[in-house]
Amino acid sequence: MTGARIREIRTQRGLTVAQLAEAAGVSTGLISQVERDRTDPSLETLRKIAKVLQLPLFSLFQEEDAKTVSVIRADSRMLVASPVGGITYSRISPGHGRLEMLKGHLPPGGYSAAEPWSHPSEECILVIEGQLVVEVSGVRHQLGVGDSCYFHSSLPHRYLNLTEEPVDFVIAVTPPSY
């Protein structure tokens, strides 16, 4: 399903598999396998593809029929996990519109990215369980349950769990970005 969406958007943009692969810094074989749903790309690979296609990351999973009111059931949320850092995100917003809401989970010692990264959005994060470090422009902000942090995502950032307990949090991103 994701692969077909990537192929559809790539062809709409007039890109070949080789052009997308080169711009994303991955192999043509990987793009080909992803488009045929033969492999599940990592979160980092999906971010690279979304950036080249100039789309918000989660729009690669977007449902086409935008409704006036959307109910997202807890047991049917779209889930994205990264094999590096251990972070998982589930989308709690419908996947269309100008606001994206995600529930994040980091295991002990986990992180959202090996190195801070940026994208053209604004974010607000709320810790619902555990302790989270939000690193923005090299400055670390320690958050506990109920604490929140707002920042421009154009600043290099990442999330870290430096504790021995898992952490759960909610992120609002506007506009949705890669």
Task: Provide the Cα torsion 120, 97, 62, 89; round to 10°.
Answer: 60
Q: Which residues contact 12 (CB under 8 A, 6 or more apart)?
A: none
Angstrom distance (rounded) from CA 99 to CA 24: 25
Q: What is the pLDDT of residues 55-88, one digit of tens each?
A: 877 777 665 555 678 788 888 887 787 778 899 9
Cis peptide before 156 (omega within 30 of 0): no
Mean pLDDT confidence for 99-127: 93
**In the predicted model, is pLDDT for residue 27 greater than 60?**
yes
pTM of this structure: 0.69
**In the predicted model, is pLDDT for residue 93 greater than 70?**
yes
DSSP track, 13-40: TT--HHHHHHHHTS-HHHHHHHHTTSS-
* pLDDT at residue 48, as a whole number: 87
Helix, coil or strand: residue 57 = helix
Q: What is the pLDDT of residues 113-122, one digit of tens each?
A: 999 989 889 9
Pairing relationship of beta strands 100-106 and 167-174 according to DSSP bridges: antiparallel
Residue that the structure tokens 């109920």 belong to? 146
Mean pLDDT confidence for 135-141: 97
Task: Provide the Cα torsion 40, 46, 48, 51; round to 10°.
Answer: 150
* pLDDT at residue 178, as a whole number: 60
Domains recognised in the chain with CATH numbers? 2-55 (1.10.260.40), 74-174 (2.60.120.10)
